[in-house]
Amino acid sequence: MKKKFSFRIQPYKSHYEVANFDDAHGFRAGSIGVLCDRRSGGRAADAAPVGNAQNARDKVSMCIGCHGIPGYKASFPELYHVPMIAGQNAKYIEAALNEYRKGARSHPTMDAVAGSLSDQDIADLAAYYSSLK
């Protein structure tokens, strides 16, 4: 007698899991999970640099033309559907910039900007934009 093949969905298990972020801002523009290694106690598998919002003030000049200047209303984001990232979750901004840098996301301007940033620059910019309201 042939054994019936079961199509029951089993939960996916591996040594990786999606990190939970209890951030006041949450994920507004989308949901990008950051993989954490359970064997490392929930810490990110590769330690990322810690962002410093003060250091980013010199780097935001390449961002404000499209994503807006704090305190001013920019027309570019509304006309071309560019996201306003002030107040966005820092982990989301870091993940998005890293995806542009690696080619997982594509936009001519963002590819060039993200490609010129170091890991520390990305962490600093994410800290800066997440601190804005």
Cα–Cα nearest to 109, from 53, 69, 64? 64
Please tell me the predicted confidence (pLDDT) of residue 107: 92
Percent of all residues in the chain with a pLDDT value above 90, rounded to a whole number: 35
E strand intervals along the chain: 16-18, 35-37
Lowest mean pLDDT among 26-30, 62-66, 70-74, 86-90: 26-30
| Average confidence (pLDDT) over 114-132 | 95
Beta bridge partners, 44, equal: 36
SS3 115: helix
For residue 126, what are its two tokens? 């994410």
pLDDT band at 49; cut points 50, 70, 90: confident
Give residue-wise pLDDT tens across range 70-110: 777 655 656 677 888 989 999 999 999 999 999 999 999 99
pTM above 0.75, yes or no: no
Please tell me the predicted confidence (pLDDT) of residue 114: 96
Please tell me the predicted confidence (pLDDT) of residue 75: 58
Please tell me the predicted confidence (pLDDT) of residue 10: 44
pLDDT at 35 over 90: no
Q: How far apart are the first and last CA of the chain?
A: 66
Question: Which of 10-19, 39-48, 100-109 ranks highest by mean pLDDT?
Answer: 100-109
Angstrom distance (rounded) from CA 125 to CA 133: 14
Cα–Cα nearest to 63, from 44, 50, 79, 76? 76
pLDDT at 18 over 80: no
List domains and CATH numbers for the chain: 47-131 (1.10.760.10)
For residue 121, what are its two tokens? 């620059």
Triad 55, 120, 29: Cα angle to 5°: 90
- Helix, strand and coil content of the chain, in percent to the nearest 5, comes to 40, 5, 55
